[in-house]
Amino acid sequence: MNRQNIAIWNPSQLDGFSHSVMNSLRSSNSLSVYDSDRYVVFPGFCDVHVHFREPGFSYKETIHTGSLAAAHGGYTAVCPMPNLNPVPDSVEHLEEELSIIRKDAVINVLPYASITVGQKGKEIADLEGMAEQCIAFSDDGHGVQDDGIMKEAMIRAKKLDKMIVAHCEVNDLLHGGYIHDGQYAKAHGHDGICSASEWKQVERDILLSKETGCAYHVCHISTKESVELVRQAKKDGIDVTCETGPHYLIFDDSDLKEDGWWKMNPPLRDRSDREALLAGVLDGTIDCLATDHAPHSLEEKSRGLKGSAMGIVGLETAFAAVYTKLVRPGIVPLDTILNMLVVNPRKRFRIPLDNDFSIWDLNAVNKVNPDSFLSKGRATPFAGMELYGECIATVYGGRIVWQKEQTSRKY
């Protein structure tokens, strides 16, 4: 086998990566099929915003199925959010999740703990007790409405050297909306969610981060106003980072269909918002690409735009989607995408990379078939689309955690 034919992406931020990967390739007979220059090796992707639904909602997803889906997508580290039952708001409740992770996860799964008790926004959770066992604190799925509660949480997180990671949403501005308050909503009689419901809370939290000195990360930004707020905060030297999802960079509300598979929170926004997000990716305002992988049952996603649960799956399509729709057309450089998938999230969240990598065939074209997903979730707006880029194998901790079944195909 001529393993030298495998190209290895090795940015300067990941010194030693090529060396560790080559050692792993040499020592693994199981990877001996990859002897063509058509393959590329990437460092293990890192998603700091997923939902694995366990404990409490295992009919939607489990730690095992979620981590397998992540491995299928080239991820070797993920951070699941705390909207679980029980909510990880105490050492005891967090341990329930950690015990499942230790038993069932096939990659590095680093859970969040909640900011408030029960994610209800009324009382701050046991941040001190949970700090050593969680990646950061978040009430994702709920914006913390009370300014005083958020400020106190930031003060305490700062003392613990932990980050506050926020889903930004002002409840008083939602007015029962469930898609973006734009032309599609007006034309089809839907209740809309205004952009201010997001950016107003981003604005508040940035000011609190400046006041407290707490490291702050904004979840899944979707509006042009949020992009500009983060851009200015960085110029002002505030310790702020943010993420967006592949779907917000590729679709806008003009692409919507009367189908719950197009419903997520925040919603797909206006074309001008998508263009602002792309500009934020290109100038470094947006640090991370996160899927917000949010599986639901087929029944929960079959009630149309109005009645379906919010959330789509994304771990198994993320790289192929952005590679096809953004990189190949020359909209975003490949290095920028890989920095958002590998370097930036690992640096910001202090998640190490050892000999964790995935092998890709970037010339392979596949039609997205949700029935082939390893996730229990099926709802994706990419269903039926032909995408370039296929993950052939993923290695975590020197061990193959996912590998495509080999056929008689000659490489």
Q: What is the C-alpha to C-alpha distance for residues 266 and 107, in angstroms, rounded to an integer? A: 28
Q: What is the C-alpha to C-alpha distance for residues 112 and 110, in angstroms, rounded to an integer? A: 7
Residue whose pair of structure tokens reads 């460092």 in the numeric block: 43
Cα first-last separation, the chain: 12
Tokens of 6: 């495998």
Number of residues assigned to the chain: 411
Q: Residue 147 belongs to what H/E stretch?
A: helix 147-159
Give the three-state DSSP class for 353.
coil
Phi, psi values for residue 203, rounded to 5°:
-60, -45
Q: For residue 294, give the nearest of 128, 386, 167 by alpha carbon.
A: 167
Q: How many CB atoms lie within 10 A of CB 346?
A: 21
Is residue 292 part of the annotated active site? The answer reads yes
DSSP sequence for 226-258: HHHHHHHHHHTT--EEEEE-HHHHH--GGG--S
Ranges of H-type helices in 160-244: 183-188, 196-212, 224-235
Q: For residue 89, give the nearest of 50, 122, 124, 57 by alpha carbon.
A: 124
With a CB cutoff of 8 Å and minimum separation 6, the contacts of 322 are 246, 249, 250, 289, 332, 337
Give the three-state DSSP class for 260.
helix
With a CB cutoff of 8 Å and minimum separation 6, the contacts of 406 are 33
Q: What is the C-alpha to C-alpha distance for residues 108 and 402, in angstroms, rounded to an integer? A: 14
**CB-based contact 315:293 (threshold 8 Å):** yes
89, 181, 292, 356: which one is catalytic?
292
Which amino acid belongs to residue 204?
R
CA dihedral 382, 385, 389, 393 (to 10 degrees): 60
The strand pairing partners of 166, in sequence order, are: 218
Tokens of 248: 């917000």
Enzyme catalytic residues: 292
